[in-house]
Structure 1
Amino acid sequence: MLHLLALLLHCLPLASGDYDICKSWVTTDEGPTWEFYACQPKVMRLKEYVKVKVEPSGITCGDPPERFCSHENPYLCSNECDASNPDLAHPPRLMFDKEDEGLATYWQSVTWSRYPSPLEANITLSWNKSVELTDDVVVTFEYGRPTVMVLEKSLDNGRTWQPYQFYAEDCMEAFGMPARRARDLAASGAHRVLCTEEYSRWAGSKKEKHVRFEVRDRFAIFAGPDLRNLDNLYTRLESAKGLKDFFTLTDLRMRLLRPALGGTYVQRENLYKYFYAISNIEVIGRCKCNLHANLCSVREGSLQCECEHNTTGPDCGKCKKNFRTRSWRAGSYLPLPHGSPNACAAAGSAIGNCECYGHSNRCSYIDFLNVVTCVSCKHNTRGQHCQHCRLGYYRNGSAELDDENVCIECNCNQIGSVHDRCNETGFCECREGSAGPKCDDCLPTHYWRQGCYPNVCDDDQLLCQNGGTCVQNQRCACPRGYTGVRCEQPRCDPADDDGGLDCDRAPGAAPRPRHPARLPAAAGAGRPPGLLSRPAGPAAREGRCARPAPCAREPGRRREGCGPSCSQVLLSRVLPPPQWHLPPARHCSRGRRGAPAPATCDFGLSFSFLFPAAPPPLFLAGGEAGGGGNAAHPDPPPPRSCLPPHTHTDTRLLRTRPAPGPAAHQRPPRNSSCLQLQPLP
C-alpha cells in the first residue's frame, strides 16, 4: 500500500496537469453550444494492460527441471526451478503480478550451462495501441542486473523496431559509443538515444536490482527538477520536432545479451550461477488519444480512447462520417492553458467550411488518406488547401494566402529556360549560357542568336589573329591571305586570284607561270621521279603535313617531307586525272617487228596511260624499260581503238622490275599507237 501511495505522489505533477476537460456547455449570443478544449486521459499503470512474450522458446527455466546457484554462494546450489511444480515454477506472468508481504516472485531463464553459446533472451511488452510514457520505465532483476542489455521500442505494433537505450558495463566495448547520462543531455538532445553504464556494473545482487529508462530526467530539462513548470514542458513537446513522438510507442522490447557475472569473468566451473531473473516491470503512462479524449477504456481486450471532438478510432485519429468537411488534425497543447482541440466539424457549421483560403468552396474527403482536400482551386493555386501555386507560378510574398493575386506567373523565356517553372523567388532555371531571372539574357561569354551560344571571338581572350576583326562575337573577318575560325591559317591556294599565299614557292623566288606549256625532262631520265607516286617522308607516314616546304629549283626534283613534287603540282594544272587500264599483257606489248615481247607482259598486267582527245604537246617516257619518246620527239596521242574494254581507277602503280634481256632495252616504234608505262622498279 505504501509503495502504491509513493507511486501516486511521484506521478502527481503529471497527473494533475491541465487538459483533463474535453468540452463544456456554454451560452453564446447565438445560443447555447459546446465549447471544445484539448484533452488527454489520466496517467495509469500500463503493465496492467500489457501482453508479454518471451523468446526464444525454451528460454524459461523448469522444463526440464534444473538447479541453479546464487552469486553470494556459488557452491551451494540448493535452488531449483521446476515448471511442473507451481511453488518452484518461474513463468513470465510473475513479472507483472502483485507481490504479497515482500515475497518476491519472478520470471527466470535457464542457466548458462551451454557456454560458450550466448545466453540471450527477448522480453516483449505489447499494448496493441499507442501509449505515451510519462514516467521512468523500471525493471527489477532478482539475481543481478545483466551486464549487456538493449531497450527497444516499436511504433507499429512490433513490425519494426528502433533502439531506445543501451546498457553495458563498458559502452565503448559493447556498442562502440561513449557512456552518457540522461540528466546531462541538452534541451536540443532530450530525445537522443544514449548508452549508460549506470545500471550494469556489479554492486551485489541484493543491493542494486533496478534498471531504468529515465523519462523524468528528460522531462526535467524543460519542467525543472521537481517537474512543476508544466507549461514550458507542454510548449516544448508541441514545438520541438520529434520530442513528443520520442515518448510514444506501441511495444517495448528488452534484449538481454549477457547475464550478471558477479563482478568476475565467466567461470566454467560456476556456469549455474549465470541466468536472468526479473521480478517486476513498471511502466507509467497514458493512452495516446491525440488530445481528443480524456478517458481510455478496455474494449475487446485492448485499450481504446473514448473520443470527443467528433473523432473516432482507437487513437481518435479520424473524423466521424458526417464531420469530414475539414481534414483531421491532432489537438495541440498551445495556446496555454486549454490548447486547441482542432475538432472535426459538420457541413454548414461555423467551423465546417472548406479550408481553401477562399480559392475554392468545394472539398472532398479521401478515406484511405483520412484527409479533406479542396477541389477546383482558383487563382492559379493548388494543394490540399489551395495553399500552393500552380506550376509556372510563384508565391507573391507581399500578399496573404487568401489574396486573389497570391500567385504570379513565372514568364520564363521559352528559348533560354529549361522549362516554364521557377522557384519560390521567381527565378527560372536557365539553359547553358543563359542568364537573368527569366533567362532572357546571355552570359558575357555568349552571344544571342535565337538562344545563347559561346562566343567565337571577342576583344579579351578569343582574339582574331593576323589582323582579323571580330564581328558581333560571332565570326572573325579575316584579311587577304588568311582563313580559319580566328584567321590563324594562311590561305595556301595558288589558283586563287584574291591574294592567296604561294605556299609552295621558295622565299624570294619569282612566281611560277600559271599554265606552263611544257615541262622539260631531267637529263638522262625517262620520267620525272615521283610522278604519280605517294608522298614520302615521316610526315606523310603520320598522315599530316603542317606546312608545304618550298619547291626545289630543278624541275622534276622531288622534295623531302610530304606533299606532291613541283612536277606533280604543275602537271596537275595541265592534265586531267588519269585513267588506268588493265588489258591482258599480250594486247599492250609493242616491240619491233620480230622482237620478243617485254618480260613484264609475262607478269600478267601492264598499264596504259590514257590522254585526253586533245592533249598538250607533252609526253612522258614509259619508265626504266627504255621505251617511249621524250620532249624533243613526242609520240602522237593514242587512238580511240587502243582503249581496253574495262578500266581501273586506282592511281597506284605496281613497282616491278622487268627481266633482263634485249627486249628490255628496245623502244617502241615511233608510229606506236599506245604509249606504255612499264611497271616501275
Structure 2
Amino acid sequence: MHWPLLLALEAAWAGLGQATQHYPAMWGHYDVCKSQVYSDEGLTWDYMACQPEAADMTKYLRVALEPTNITCGDPAETYCALENPYMCNNECDASTKELAHPPELMFDFEGRNPTTFWQSTSWRKYPKPLLVNITLSWNKTIELTDDIVITFESGRPEQMVLEKSLDYGRTWLPYQFYATDCLDAFTMEPRTAQDLTQHTLLDVICTEEYSRGYVWKYDKTVRFEIKDRLALFAGPRLHNMASLYGQLDTTKNLRDFFTITDLRIKLLRPATGATMVDENNLSRYFYAISDIKVQGRCKCNLHANSCIFDKEKLVCECEHNTTGPDCGRCKRSYQGRVWSPGSYLPIPKGTANICVPNNIGPVTCNCDPFGSESERCNATGFCKCKSGTTGKHCSECLPGYLWDSGCKSQVCDDELLRCQNGGVCLSNLRCQCTVGFSGVLCEKPHCESEAAGCGGPDSARNTSCPSSAHLLLLLLALATASCWPAAL
C-alpha cells in the first residue's frame, strides 16, 4: 500500500473516535463495501450490504429487431407528419448517414439538434398489423432501480406490451400492457400504477395513461413505473429503504419482479390520431423512438460492490469467496457450508454470508465410499464413518486398524505377512516387532541411543540402518521365531 494512502486511512480511523466502537466484528465482511460519510458524530464508516452502484444500463445492452428488415430506409421512403397529412417532406434513406435511422440511435446521447431516432417502415401493408419487437439483452442478470422510460419521436403507439425475461430470452412474461382502450385491445380493465397497493404490487396491469396518439410537448414518453412500486414499501420519496430492503430480503417473488436479463418492447399498433386509418396516406403511420432509459445495477447476490464491462460482457467482481456471473456459488476451496446470497438483514447493516474454507464448518465436499456409511454427508453436514475409520471424509484409519478398502481391525495375517522387518502377527490384531523396529507394521526403525547410530551427526544417514549389535539381535530373533513351531 502507498504510504500517503496508508497515512490517510490511519488519520481517518483516528478521527472516528468512539463512534465506531459499537460496530460488531461481523461487519468486517463488508470492509470492501464500506464508504465514509459525515454524521452527527463526525466522519464515520458506513457499512452496507455489497451491491454495485445503479447506472445507465443501456450502455451495455445488445438490441435486436423483428422483423429484421423493419427499419426504414431500404428502399428510401418519404413520410408525412401525423398531425398534418399534407406535410410529407421527411425522408429516410439507409444509404445516407444524415437520413438514416438505425436502431443504435435509440441509445445515443440526447440533446442534439435535430433529434436522432430509430424509425420503422411505414404501414404500407395495412390492414395487416404493423408489428415490431425490440429486444434488449444484457447477457447478465440486472436489478431495476428506476422507471423504464421510452421516448417516442412520433406519436406514442395505440397498443404496446412491455415484456421481461429472467432466463436470457428463453421465456417471457408481461410487465405491463398499454392501449388507448384496454378493454378493446386486451380485455383488461384500465388501471394505473397509483392504483396498486403492497398486496397488488406484482399485478400485471393495462394502462391507458401513455397511449394518446398526438405528439404534444410532454406527451412523448411511455413509462414502466418502478419507483411508484418501490415507494409502496419505502415511502413516497424512498426515504425508508430499510423497510424495502427487508421486504426484498424475505420475499423472492418481489426480488424477481425487479430482476431481468432481457426486456422486449412489442409495438402492436402505431398512433393514428383518429378512429379510422387513412388508407390514402399510410406513410403517416410508423414508429419512431428517440431514447430508451433503463436504470439498474448488476445482480451480484449482495456479494460484490462493483460490476465491470469486460469483453463485451458485464461481470460481477465477486467478494466473500464467491464466484460465477452473479456470484451465485462458492469458490472450489470455499465450500465448507452451503452457498447463500448476502442479506440486507439485520437492517440496516446486513449479513455477508461469506463462503468459508472447506476445513471450516460442516463438510459438504463427497464421503469415502469404503470408509463412510454413505457417500453423502448426513443431516448435520458430516460424513458418518464406519468402525475404525476417521477423518473429514472417513478416509483415514484409527490406531490398530489398517486400510484395505476401508479400515480393517485385522492388521496382519499369516498368509499376507504384512508385518515387516521380521515382525510376527499375533491373533491377526497386531505385529510383534523385533528389536530395533516399531510401528503398526514394524515399519519404523527404532533408535535407542547414539551408540546405536542414532542422534549423532550422521543420524540422518544412519536412522534406517541399525548397528552391528542390533543386526546380531535381529538374526537371533529371526532364528528363534523360525523354531517356534518345533518347540510347540
Question: Shorter chain as normaliser: what TM range?
Answer: 0.5 to 0.7
Cα contact 1:122–1:256 (8 A) shared by 2: yes
> Percent identity at matched positions?
55
- Work out whether residues 61 and 81 of structure 1, in 8 Å CA contact, stay in contact via their aligned partners in 2: yes
Q: 2:59 maps to what in 1? A: 48
Matched, 1:353 2:367: no
Verify: 1:148 aligned to 2:159, yes or no: yes
C-alpha distance 271-109 of structure 1, shift in aligned 2 (>3 A): same
Shift of 1:203: 4.3
Structure 2 counterpart of 1:240, which letter? T
Would the aligned equivalents of 1:199 and 1:211 in 2 still touch at CA under 8 Å?
yes
For 1:112, the equivalent position in structure 2 comes to: 123
In the superposition, relative to structure 1, how do residues 262 and 374 fare at CA in structure 2: closer, same or farther (>3 Å)?
farther
- Tell me if 1:96 matches 2:107: yes
Matches within 5 A, 1:204-353: 204-348=215-359, 352-353=360-361
For the aligned residues, what is the CA RMSD?
2.2
CA positional deviation for 1:141 = 0.3
Shift of 1:188: 1.6
Q: Secondary structure at the match of 1:187?
A: coil
Structure with more of its chain in helix, by fraction: 2
The match for 2:198 is: 187
Q: Provide closer, same or farther for how the CA distance between residues 100 and 201 of structure 1 changes in structure 2, counting only shifts above 3 A.
A: closer
CA contact (8 A) 1:204 1:262 kept: no
Shift, 1:51, TM fit? 0.8
Asked if the contact 1:112–1:271 (Cα under 8 Å) also holds between the matched residues in 2, the reply is: yes
Look up the equivalent residue of 2:376 and give its one-letter code.
V
Residue number among 85, 89, 106 corresponding to 1:74 in the alignment: 85
Whether the 8 Å CA contact 2:122–2:282 is kept in 1: the answer is yes
User: Quick one: structure 1 residues 78 and 22, their matched pair in 2 at CA, closer, same or farther if it must change by over 3 Å?
Assistant: farther
Structure 2 residues not aligned, in runs of 5+: 1-26, 33-46, 368-373, 383-488
Query: How big is the shift at 1:223?
Result: 0.9
Q: In structure 2, how many angstroms separate the alpha carbons of the residues matched to 1:168 and 1:301?
A: 36
Whose Rg is larger? 1
Are 2:366 and 2:376, in contact at CA under 8 Å, matched by a contact in 1?
Answer: no
* Counterparts of 1:22 and 1:295, CA distance in 2: 15
Aligned to 1:220, what secondary structure does the other structure show? Answer: helix
**Counterpart Cα distance in 2 of 1:206 and 1:85:** 29
* 2:178–2:207 contact (8 Å) kept in structure 1: yes
Alpha-carbon distance in 1 for matches of 2:328, 2:177:
32
1:24 corresponds, among 8, 11, 31, to 31
Q: Deviations over 1:296-320 (max 9, x none)?
A: 0011111000000000111101111
With 257-266 and 56-65 compared, the bigger mean Cα shift is at 257-266
Aligned residue runs from structure 1 range 493-512, under 5 A = none
The alpha-carbon deviation at position 100 of structure 1 amounts to 4.3
Whether the 8 Å CA contact 1:21–1:38 is kept in 2: the answer is no
Report the AA paired with residue 353 of structure 1: G
Letter in 2 for 1:253: R
The Cα of 1:186 is off from its aligned counterpart by 1.3
Change (3 A) 1:240 1:75: same
CA-CA distance at 1:280 after TM superposition: 0.2
> Relative contact order: is structure 1 or structure 2 higher (C-alpha 8 Å, sep ≥ 6)?
2
Question: Once the 2 structures are TM-superposed, how far is the Cα of residue 21 of structure 1 from its aligned partner?
Answer: 9.1
Deviation at 1:38, TM superposition (A): 2.9
Q: Give the Cα separation in 1 of the matches to 2:324 and 2:313.
A: 13
Partner of 2:72: 61
Counterpart code for 1:76: M
Instruction: Assess, with a 3 A threshold, how the Cα gap between structure 1 residues 342 and 37 changes in structure 2: closer, same or farther.
Output: farther
Counterpart residue identity of residue 213, structure 2:
W
Q: Counterparts of 2:205 and 2:64 in 1: how far apart (Å)? A: 25
Contact 1:168 1:195 in 2 (8 A): yes
What are the Cα deviations for residues 614-655 of structure 1, in whole angstroms up to 9, with x where unaligned?
xxxxxxxxxxxxxxxxxxxxxxxxxxxxxxxxxxxxxxxxxx
Q: 1:99 Cα shift?
A: 2.8
Q: Secondary structure at the match of 1:238?
A: helix
Could you say what secondary structure the match of 1:159 adopts?
coil
> 2:364 aligns to what SS in structure 1?
strand
Deviation at 1:22, TM superposition (A): 5.7
Q: Any conservation in 1 of the 2:214–2:271 contact (CA below 8 Å)?
A: no
State the alpha-carbon separation in 1 of the partners of residues 275 and 28 from structure 2. 55
Are the structure 2 counterparts of residues 312 and 37 from structure 1 closer, same or farther at C-alpha, using a change threshold of 3 Å? farther
Change (3 A) 1:374 1:237: farther
Q: In structure 2, how many angstroms separate the alpha carbons of the residues matched to 1:208 and 1:24? A: 46
Q: What is the CA distance between 1:202 and its match in structure 2?
A: 2.9
Task: Provide the rounded CA distance (Å) in 1 between the counterparts of 2:138 and 2:76.
Answer: 32
1:390 aligns with none
Q: Is the CA contact 2:67–2:132 (under 8 Å) kept in the aligned structure 1?
A: yes
Whether the 8 Å CA contact 1:96–1:280 is kept in 2: the answer is yes
Could you list the per-position Cα deviations for residues 500-536 of structure 1 after superposition, in whole angstroms to 9, with x for gaps in the alignment?
xxxxxxxxxxxxxxxxxxxxxxxxxxxxxxxxxxxxx
- Correspondence for 1:132: 143
* Distance (Å, rounded) in 2 between the aligned partners of 1:255 and 1:324: 44
In 1, are the aligned partners of 2:30 and 2:352 still within 8 Å (CA)? no
CA separation of 1:162 and 1:365: change in aligned 2, threshold 3 A: farther
- Structure 2 Cα separation of the partners of residues 73 and 120 of structure 1: 24
Aligned residue in 1 for 2:376: 375
C-alpha distance in structure 1 between counterparts of 2:258 and 2:114, whole Å: 33
1:202–1:261 distance in 2 versus 1, CA, 3 Å: same
Indicate conservation of the 8 Å contact 1:111/1:273, yes or no: yes
Q: Which amino acid aligns with 2:331?
A: K
Q: In 2, Cα distance between the equivalents of 1:202 and 1:320?
A: 54
CA offset digits 1:454-499 (Å, max 9, x no partner): xxxxxxxxxxxxxxxxxxxxxxxxxxxxxxxxxxxxxxxxxxxxxx
Residues 1:168 and 2:175 are matched in the alignment? no
8 Å contact kept, 1:147–1:201? yes
For residue 97 of structure 1, what is the amino acid of its counterpart?
D
What's the counterpart of residue 459 of structure 2? none
TM-score, L = length of structure 1: 0.48
How far residue 216 of structure 1 moved from its aligned partner, in angstroms, is 0.3
Aligned pair in 2 of structure 1 residues 208, 374: CA closer, same or farther (>3 Å)? farther
Cα 1:157–1:376, aligned 2, differ >3 Å: closer, same or farther?
A: closer
Change (3 A) 1:385 1:187: farther
Alpha-carbon distance between aligned partners in 1 of 2:28 and 2:89, rounded to the nearest angstrom: 57
Kept in 2: contact 1:155–1:250 (CA 8 A): yes
